[in-house]
Amino acid sequence: MRTLPILVVAGVAAAASAAAPADSGDAAIAARVAQEMPRVVAWRRDFHQHPELSNREIRTSGIVAEHLRRLGLEVKTGVAKTGVVAVLEGGRPGPTVALRADMDALPVVEKADVPFRSTVTTTYQGDTVGVMHACGHDAHTAMLMGVAEILAGLRADLPGKVLFIFQPAEEGPPDGEDGGAPLMLKEGVFASGKPDALFGLHVFSTLPAGVIGYRPGPFMAGSDGFRLVVTGRQTHGARPWAGLDPIVVSSQIISALQTVVSRQIDLTQNPAIVTVGTIRGGMRGNIIPDTVEMRGTIRTYDPAQRTDVLARVERTVTHIAAASGATAQFELTGRPNPVTANDPALTQRAVPTLARIAGEGHIREIGLQTPSEDFSYFAREVPSLFFFVGVAQPGVPPAEIADNHSPLFYIDESALPVGVRALTQLTVDYLTGRMQ
């Protein structure tokens, strides 16, 4: 079993005090964060043990809404199906800062050996699947709940407003449903007025615990989901010449799709990714089926590149199938995610705050990241900053660290105070004019 850090108030307070400068405002916030951490850890472990898939975050959103109401905030539920939005009114007029956390889990069977491991199962796309917070949204939700508690305690001294956005379906809604950030915007999450700034974070496995990674401008890739159906002709597995094997054709397509990136795209301009994540075809080893279905994802960084890659993928799929006498249907699925881009001016203003709370050597400007985020929809509407907080366990070789979306994904909880303090301090600094 992994060794779990035991977060007690005294231990966290000591760490927070060591990182805090002499400024009494920073020190006071650090102390509040330390006091809140046992509850943040408890929330995170509870959410982890009881994960819920996209648009099904009923228990999670109920706990969030109850907590926000207890703080005396104006709370709205049922936004984009299961989302929760709350407003904290400061003690005097001023700007509005929005903070966002996502709540949904993934259809993954957990293999991480922790005492709060998920054993939840449910139905997803017709299959019985395990459910796991394999991307850290449990931590995001718990941290923002902690931030809300801290800021509520400061409300009399805060100018302006804080808008808390607890978002469902960041990983994408189920087939045939709407959801996530686009639906929240459609339903008017900013109807009462667009925020002056929006901050969000994501725990990330490739950075050491407590290290903050950021990038001005384009940060995370745009994404498109796709579905391929290759149609051949069913026959006996012992007589392949009597039919047309869509499995062989599909294997040729999968191999050829990798050349779109490796041989057809100028990767010195921007990275690109084409991944086939599922392949389904056939029911028995001695039957060649009629059809094979594949699903995957495409990642790009600008609109022209996206158009080019999509055209090349479709051409590759249909021509290889035709060369074998089969047919192939290529279609995009779900909602695309635009590139997540950080507002350069806001990022420049925010970096000193992040550096102050992270401590020397614990903040890094990092390169383009190929995961995608529907935070990008919010970022197209208001000046935004999205950053990473590392959660890799110290002393574990990088090759042994499980990536986000892995069944072994693990969060070193010593990183949680950094995330809570970052969102809290960014909000306070922006509202009080300290962020210049």
Three-state SS string over the chain comes to: CCCCCCCCHHHHHHHHHHHCCCCHHHHHHHHHHHHHHHHHHHHHHHHHHCCCCCCCCHHHHHHHHHHHHHCCCEEEEEECCCEEEEEEECCEEEEEEEEEEECCCECCCCCCCCCCCCCCEEEECCEEEECECCCCHHHHHHHHHHHHHHHHHCHHHCEEEEEEEEECCCCCCCCCCCCHHHHHHHCCCCCCCCCCEEEEEEEEEEEECCCEEECCEEEECEEEEEEEEEECECEECCCHHHCECHHHHHHHHHHHHHHHHHHHCCCCCCCCEEEEEEEECCCCCCEECCEEEEEEEEEECCHHHHHHHHHHHHHHHHHHHHHCCCEEEEEEEEEEECCEEECHHHHHHHHHHHHHHHCCCCEEECCCECCCCCHHHHHCCCCEEEEEEEEECCCCCHHHCCCCCCCCCCCCHHHHHHHHHHHHHHHHHHHHCCCC
Q: Which of 104, 138, 245, 413 is catalytic?
A: 104
Active site residue 177: no
Among this protein's residues, is 412 annotated catalytic? no
Catalytic residue among 170, 171, 374, 429: 170
Q: Report, as residue numbers or ranges, the catalytic residues.
A: 104, 170
